[in-house]
Amino acid sequence: MSQRETWATRAGFILAAVGSAVGLGNIWQFPFKTSEYGGATFLVVYLVAAVGIGLPAMLAEFVIGRKSNLNAIGAFEKLNHRNWKWVGILGVGTGFWILSYYSVVGGWVLRYIGGSVTGAYFADPAAYFGQVSAGLDALALHALFMIFVVAIVASGVEDGIEKATKLMVPSIVVILGALAVWVFTLPGAAPGYSYFLSPDLSQLSLSVSFDPLPSFSGPLTEIIPFAVSQAFFSLSLGMGAMITYASYVGEDQSLFGDSVTVVVLNSAVGILAGLVVIPLLFVQGIEPGSGGAGALFVSLATAFAELPAGRVVGAVFFAVVLIAALSSAISLLEVVVSYAVDNYGARRPQVAAALGGLIFLLGIPSAWDTAWLTWFDNLAYQLLLPLSVLGVLLFIGWVYGRPAVDELLNGSSLGGGVGATWLWLVRTVVVLGVLLTLALGVQTLFF
Ligand code: PFF
Ligand code: NA
């Protein structure tokens, strides 16, 4: 078996982790979920979830990866708990599932780069979205996006990924920032800011009745599962990605500091995207929540159609989104590929192509009809992601336990108290939070 690699520099790991985290989840999902599930109220619950549940869960994945130095499935075996291998398998499966429709949206982004250059969507942005987001067009673009992902993973990513991510985050921030300033100058944007930024505290209510089974009601029954799962999706948790990336990290690096960086940058990019998209929806008189998966594409396309240099700005914007989407998608395919390479000694290019092909097949329904895409997405949010993260938390909190704290503290200057507090939180509050999310998700999904 070949020598296990490590990141060359501390920045290498942070950049790769940020590259995996920052993606369509921030620029596409986050604004449209926020506008669908109550605006600022969703934002508050999301931020609480990202810090209170996402951060401790990310530390758990980092610890599993660095301690084992193995892929997401092998890691659970190596830490001597073969019975918990299912958590790794569930994580890899969840990544597989998500990548299938992530790639479809990546295909739309590809199309919008071309559409910006030619001005194809300028006349009727809504009709354009309807036409390119379903049927044979979408299928071909889904295939094209998947081919890019396979090509990069097949040829080894070190250089490509590191260079792309170094450029990606700064250019996303600059371009989104410039767009946010421009949106701010538009008449009619004001209600968008209050929708996005001033929470309606009366929405923060949840009640439970027993009859005899528990059943929940109140606005939070919908907000919690989507906000918590949005945090998982956005931070690339519950999919083996962070376990795999952390398996290349040295013992001299502070996992805690790195995870804080990822959470902060990821949330910042999401909020910046929200500051662009949500006021734009209001400017164009689109009801929040009615835009669905197409909200971002339609509203931005409309904006670019009106901008003086709309073709250039549009093309640059969607190109940046494409890089962000690719660096996230690559991390998902890499998880599965590294497992197959480690365990079956298979050759990387062949494995990447075969698995990429399977993921393409799984994405066909989502490409064909956005109703399927929504269904795939809902299943991931309400069931797969919380279940998978729950497995990680239970494993670290209740099975692996104390040694996890020692691993967390390696390479960091934190006192033992912080580590012990983290473990205690993982065992109790955080697990309860995810259990509640799961209960609400299952209720929404099946009842
Ligand atoms: N975190 C990515 C995003 O927000 O777009 C999506 C993603 C990437 C999910 C990688 C899962 C993953 F393993
Ligand atoms: Na993200």
- Could you state, in order of their start, the residue ranges of all structural domains in the chain? 10-446
What architecture is domain 10-446?
Up-down Bundle (1.20)
Burial environment of residue 181 by CB neighbours within 10 A (0 to 12, 13 to 18, 19 or more): exposed
Give Dmax (Cα) for the chain: 62
Q: Name 148's Cβ contacts closer than 8 Å, sequence gap at least 6.
A: 326
Q: What is the pLDDT of residue 24?
A: 93
Identify which of 79-88, 246-255, 349-358, 407-416 has the greatest average pLDDT.
Answer: 349-358
What tens digit of pLDDT does each residue of 237-269 get? 999 999 998 988 888 888 999 999 999 999 999
Q: Do residues 88 and 73 lie in contact, with contact meaning Cβ atoms separated by under 8 Å?
A: yes
Q: What 3-state DSSP class applies to 219?
A: coil
**Which of the 8 DSSP states describes residue 209?**
E
Atom number, ligand 1, closest to the C-alpha of residue 233: 9
Q: What 3-state DSSP class applies to 159?
A: helix
Q: Name 90's Cβ contacts closer than 8 Å, sequence gap at least 6.
A: 384, 387, 388, 391
Atom number, ligand 1, closest to the C-alpha of residue 241: 13
Specify the amino acid at residue 91.
G
Mutate which of 98, 149, 330, 384 for ligand 1 pocket (most atoms within 8 A of beta carbon): 98
- What was the ipTM of the complex prediction? 0.96
Q: What is the phi-psi region of residue 236: left when phi exceeds 0, alpha when psi lies from -120 to 50, beta otherwise?
A: left
| Average of per-residue pLDDT values in the chain | 88
Give the whole-angstrom CA distance, residue 343 versus residue 399.
Answer: 25
How would residue 1 be classed by pLDDT, with cut points 50, 70 and 90? Answer: very low
Please name which ligand lies nearest the alpha carbon of 20. Answer: 1
Q: Taking CB atoms and a 6 Å cutoff, what residues make up the pocket around ligand 1? A: 20-21, 23-26, 95, 98, 233-234, 236, 239, 241, 328, 331-332
Give the whole-angstrom CA distance, residue 111 versus residue 223.
Answer: 32
Mean pLDDT along residues 92-97: 94
CA atoms lying within 13 Å on the CB side of residue 355: 30
How would residue 4 be classed by pLDDT, with cut points 50, 70 and 90? Answer: low
Q: Which two tokens stand for residue 255?
A: 């996992």
Burial environment of residue 365 by CB neighbours within 10 A (0 to 12, 13 to 18, 19 or more): middle
